[in-house]
Structure 1
Amino acid sequence: MNGILLVNKEAGYTSRDVVNIVSKIIKNKTVGHTGTLDPIATGVLVLCIGDATKLVELITAFDKEYIAEIILGTKTDTLDTTGKILKEVEVSLLDEDIIKAVLSMKGKYEQEVPIYSAVKVNGKKLYEYARNDEQVKLPKRTVEIKNIELVSPIKRENGKIIFEIKCTVTKGTYIRSLINDIAEKLNTVACMKNLKRTKQGKYFIENTYSLEEIENSKYKLIDIPTALNDKLTIKVNKELEQCIKNGKILDNIYLEDEVLFINEQNHVLALYKKYEKDETKIKPWKMFKQK
């Protein structure tokens, strides 16, 4: 079994939980996910199965779209409602100031990685520092908020302000941190109440399957050629097929950064990419098993 499976992750599961459950259901140990969702989060989790695990790197790099519910006035150690409350304040802000702060986040900026994350510093995961009450300098990374908007009315409850945003972000962006940064612009504190990933690259939540549907075999895999249908695809003869199977570097007569080669039987052979040492050449990047 080879292909991509779009899962609608439920709250309470880790991404690894979902991988393990699906692996057991389909009786295939070669399963990988393409972007961690925290247990609190729901929505699109793209799984690569069998030979399609070679696409994990490509799919992980896709932009992701989220809908997040924000509580202004509460700060926790995890930056979401699963954590320990560190601070609570009454919030009195005008709607237009909230909207302005949210919209101002569009673009690139240096985002601090949250302490409760699996990012490693000196070979140790950040959440391990947090659990051991150890001090550590949190790394920053450049992220891009490609689009951001409010998608709900702004509600006021018991001194707190609650609303939802929708955003499209690049790989490595933490929505919890984005929410914290919005709060800082408003000179207050905040945490994330809910998070749903609604899209990853070309994969939409409308096309996902629940774990129950997968368990009942009510799902369809996306095959590797379909997953790569945005790449220039070249059908080759048997002579060139053998060169590709041998991993030969080829002339880049196609003038593309990435080229997918298939054989005369329409079986995927390899995905080539531009050779860094000589841009007139392309080299093997992802080689696929032959039937």
Structure 2
Amino acid sequence: MQFNGLLLVDKPAAMTSHDVVARVRKILKQKTVGHTGTLDPLATGLMVLVLGDATKLSDYLVAEDKAYRVKIRLGVRTDTLDRTGQVLQRIPCDLSEDRLRAAILNLQGEFEWEVPLFSAAKVDGKKLYEHGREGTSVELPKKQMSFRDVEIHAVGPDWADVSMSCSKGSFVRTWAAELGESLGVGGIVEELRRLRVGGWGVDKALGFEDLEAGRVPLIPMSQALPGLKSVMANTKEIKLVGNGQIPGISKIALYLSRSERLSWGHQFL
């Protein structure tokens, strides 16, 4: 039996995203499983997995905004921008609450920041983390990152507990480091949890124990992208779509008359 649809998984700490996919493949005995956005091993929280035919929706789901809750430690710099890395510097700090809150709320909007060295972004055909592990010097590329809906849960003299939403390709580790730099003391991610991907929340996610017990509540492909316009297709139109004659709408979901999913956007399934 092949599963087709979305599966929401609550990733535990100390696992890579690839580990999660491999574990689900083993539990479900299915090869066609992918994910829609990497989570660092340090992080916990929501991973949206695509199973079977739903793997063809990956490009759409990867582009969805994401929300996180993060605990930041100030007064320290590491090579990975989180607590797992090599400590480069420690600076004693005793920040006032007002100063720290103001600095946090100031880091909202669009920024052009460097991608972390320990990330999967590629330079010269090689992933940056490979350069980092080899100790080779490389110029870090800059990219547009967007952070909004920043909410402060609590702060201390050298830490902050914050939640935020961000766009595709935005690094919370970079945000934490930039917060530290704006205060002149450095900063790293100590804890990170992904709360949301698009319209899907971690409160609906499963643990591995649920999957092993046979609970696999898939989100059907018809509900995967609720913001996409839907179009019903008759037999003649289905044939046209199959021949590559797609209606002139940039992003649509096509259905058979019996409500079976046929095509997403300009990609025939």
TM-score, structure 2 as length reference: 0.96
Tell me the secondary structure at the aligned position of residue 29 of structure 1. coil
Q: Contact 1:245–1:269 at 8 Å: present in 2 too? A: no
Corresponding residue of 2:156 = 155
Question: 1:21-170, aligned counterparts within 5 Å?
Answer: 21-152=23-154, 154-156=155-157, 161-170=158-167
The gaps in structure 2 that reach 5 residues or longer are none
Partner deviation per Cα, 1:180-202 (whole Å, 9 max, x = no partner): 00111111111111000000100
Percentage of matched positions with identical amino acids: 36
Please tell me the root mean square deviation across aligned C-alpha atoms, in Å.
Answer: 1.2
Q: Which moved more, 1:80-89 or 1:36-45?
A: 80-89
Alignment of 1:185-264 (within 5 A): 185-250=182-247, 252=248, 257-264=250-257
Q: Deviations over 1:232-257 (max 9, x none)?
A: 2121221112112222133x4xxx54
Following superposition, the deviation at residue 167 of structure 1 comes to 0.7
CA distance in 1, matches of 2:11, 2:267: 28
Asked whether the equivalents of residues 261 and 268 of structure 1 are also in contact (C-alpha less than 8 Å), the reply is yes
Question: Residue 270 of structure 1: which of 256, 263, 266 is its match?
Answer: 263
Paired with 2:255 and 2:136, the residues of 1 have a C-alpha distance of 52
Matching residue of 1:11 = 13
Distance in 2, Cα, partners of 1:224 & 1:151: 36
Query: In structure 2, what is the equivalent of residue 287 of structure 1?
Result: 268
Structure 2 letter corresponding to 1:209: L
Partner secondary structure for residue 184 of structure 1: helix
Contact 2:97 2:156 in 1 (8 A): no
Q: Comparing both chains, which one has the higher relative contact order based on Cα–Cα distances under 8 Å and sequence gaps of 6 or more?
A: 2
Runs of 4+ with deviation above 4 angstroms: none
Contact 1:33 1:47 in 2 (8 A): yes
- Do the aligned residues in 2 keep the contact of 1:112 with 1:139 (CA within 8 Å)? yes
Q: Report if aligned partners of 1:244, 1:269 keep a CA contact under 8 Å in 2.
A: no
How far residue 146 of structure 1 moved from its aligned partner, in angstroms, is: 2.1
Alpha-carbon distance, 1:219 to partner:
2.8
1:179 is displaced (CA, Å) by 0.3
Residues 219-242 of structure 1: CA deviation (Å, up to 9, x unaligned): 300010111332221212211121
Question: What stretches of structure 1 of length at least 5 have no aligned partner?
Answer: 273-284
Once the two structures are TM-superposed, the CA of residue 260 in structure 1 deviates from its matched residue by 1.2
User: Rg bigger for which structure?
Assistant: 1
Give the whole-Å Cα distance in 2 for the aligned partners of 1:72 and 1:103. 16
Deviation at 1:8, TM superposition (A): 0.3
Distance across 2 between alignment mates of 1:202 and 1:128: 33
The code of the aligned residue for 1:199 comes to: R
Contact kept in structure 1, 2:57 and 2:264, CA below 8 Å: no
**Equivalents in 2 of 1:245, 1:6: separation in Å?**
31
Instruction: Provide the secondary structure at the position in 2 that maps to 1:151.
Output: strand
* Matching residue's letter, 1:269: L
Residue matched to 1:280: none
Amino acid at match of 1:155: G
Q: SS at the partner of 1:146?
A: strand
Distance in 2, Cα, partners of 1:187 & 1:74? 10
